[in-house]
């Protein structure tokens, strides 16, 4: 069993280690190691197409993570007051949203957005007071569509994390605040929010990571915008170079940093808090 476990871990992590190793390759081929060099990292830092794709990914990830955290936290707080069969329905919908494959979400979002855009654009053409049809604003795929799709994808994750933290929260603290005539907003601001804050921040970090790394959903709804995963996919169709390995290594380090930070926050938030 020990040998089997070692073989599984090698199968999972050896390719990742090779990507990191060959990102320091001084040669031109990703599979032909000619010596250590950091030249490819400098080339990545000077590639305007990579920087543009990184900018797009950061904007999308920050916006979608913020929206998912905001609406997910509100939904988690609201669902605590729902009971019976209605709560079971919402629980099922939340977990189904996590389990649905990304390609299904991407196709469904694309169809929904294109259909809505066609209706709205035709309506704008009909009512817009302009002699030049080209002056009429038109909705199209881009930042908004990617952010909307990633927000919906991450929303369920935030709900699950925050609800788990609420379930483990000491309710006597909230009851004590109510007994001391605190307003609902005051209770939330001074008691509930500090208690659930580690889960909220962890949800934001995980949502940011998933949005920044996502390729499948973004590929369907990106339109003319190129995120970093889409750029990498387009680049490897022309051949894998150490530049792609360098990009993958940087993304890996950033993703691990965010995931470890989220895990630390979740463990810190899981420590029981008791009223004194």
pLDDT of residue 60: 93
Which tens digits make up the pLDDT trace of 186-219?
777 777 778 888 888 888 988 998 888 888 899 9
25 three-state secondary structure: strand
Average pLDDT of the segment spanning 109-120: 89
Task: Assess if residue 275 is contained within a domain.
Answer: no
Backbone angles phi, psi at 128, to 5 degrees: -75, 125
Which tens digits make up the pLDDT trace of 7-41?
888 888 888 888 888 788 776 766 666 777 788 88
> Using CB atoms within 10 A of its CB, is residue 244 exposed (0-12), middle (13-18) or buried (19+)?
buried
In the structure, what pLDDT confidence band is assigned to residue 275 with cuts at 50, 70 and 90? very low
Identify which has the larger pLDDT, 61 or 165: 61
Average pLDDT of the segment spanning 224-236: 86
For 133, the domain range is 53-269
State how many domains the chain has. Answer: 1
Give me the DSSP letters along 39-107. Answer: HHHHHHHH-HHHHHHHHHHHHHHHHHHHHHHHHHHHHHHHHTT--HHHHHHHHHHHHHHHHS-HHHHHH
Average pLDDT of the segment spanning 226-232: 88
Task: Assess if residue 42 is contained within a domain.
Answer: no
pLDDT of residue 59: 92
What CATH number is attached to the domain comprising 130? Answer: 1.10.3720.10
Write out the H or E segment, with its range, that includes residue 260: helix 242-269
Whole-angstrom distance, CA of residue 138 vs CA of residue 254: 36
Phi-psi region for residue 35, left (φ > 0), alpha (ψ -120 to 50) or beta?
Answer: left
Task: Assess if residue 5 is contained within a domain.
Answer: no
Task: Assess if residue 116 is contained within a domain.
Answer: yes
Question: 50 CB contacts (<8 Å, ≥6 apart)?
Answer: 44, 228, 231, 247
Which tens digits make up the pLDDT trace of 63-103?
999 999 999 998 888 887 777 788 888 888 888 888 888 88
> Using CB atoms within 10 A of its CB, is residue 272 exposed (0-12), middle (13-18) or buried (19+)?
exposed
Residue 274 has pLDDT above 60, yes or no: no
CB 143 within 8 A of CB 222: no
Mean pLDDT value across the chain: 81
268 C-beta neighbours (distance < 10 Å), count: 10
Task: Assess if residue 109 is contained within a domain.
Answer: yes
Whole-angstrom distance, CA of residue 11 vs CA of residue 14: 6
Task: Assess if residue 44 is contained within a domain.
Answer: no
Residue 273 has pLDDT above 60, yes or no: no
Task: Assess if residue 31 is contained within a domain.
Answer: no
In the structure, what pLDDT confidence band is assigned to residue 276 with cuts at 50, 70 and 90? very low
Whole-angstrom distance, CA of residue 210 vs CA of residue 98: 12
209 C-beta neighbours (distance < 10 Å), count: 22
Task: Assess if residue 104 is contained within a domain.
Answer: yes
Which tens digits make up the pLDDT trace of 116-175?
888 888 888 878 766 666 677 778 888 888 998 899 888 988 998 888 888 777 677 766
Whole-angstrom distance, CA of residue 168 vs CA of residue 80: 12
């Amino acid at each position: 069993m020990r040998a089997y476990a070692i073989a599984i871990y090698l199968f999972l992590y050896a390719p990742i280690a090779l990507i990191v190793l060959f990102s320091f390759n001084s040669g031109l081929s990703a599979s032909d190691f000619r010596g250590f060099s950091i030249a490819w990292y400098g080339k990545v830092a000077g590639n305007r197409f990579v920087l543009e794709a990184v900018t797009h990914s950061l904007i999308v990830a920050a916006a979608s993570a913020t929206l998912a955290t905001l609406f997910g936290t509100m939904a988690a707080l609201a669902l605590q007051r729902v009971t019976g069969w209605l709560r079971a329905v919402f629980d099922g919908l939340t977990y189904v949203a996590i389990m649905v494959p990304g390609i299904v979400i991407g196709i469904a979002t694309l169809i929904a957005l294109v259909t809505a855009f066609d209706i709205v654009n035709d309506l704008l053409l009909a009512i817009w007071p302009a002699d030049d049809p080209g002056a009429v604003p038109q909705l199209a795929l881009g930042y908004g569509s990617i952010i909307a799709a990633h927000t919906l994808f991450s929303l369920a994750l935030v709900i699950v994390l925050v609800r788990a933290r609420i379930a483990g929260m000491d309710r006597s603290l909230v009851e004590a605040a109510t007994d001391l005539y605190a307003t609902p907003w005051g209770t939330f601001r001074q008691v509930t929010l500090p208690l659930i804050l580690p889960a909220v921040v962890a949800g934001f970090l995980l949502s940011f990571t998933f949005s920044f790394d996502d390729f499948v959903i973004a590929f369907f709804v990106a339109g003319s915008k190129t995120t970093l995963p889409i750029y990498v996919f387009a680049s490897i169709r022309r051949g894998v170079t150490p530049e792609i390995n360098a990009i993958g290594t940087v993304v890996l380090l950033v993703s691990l940093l965010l995931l470890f930070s989220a895990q630390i926050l979740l463990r810190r938030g899981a420590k029981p808090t008791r009223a004194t």
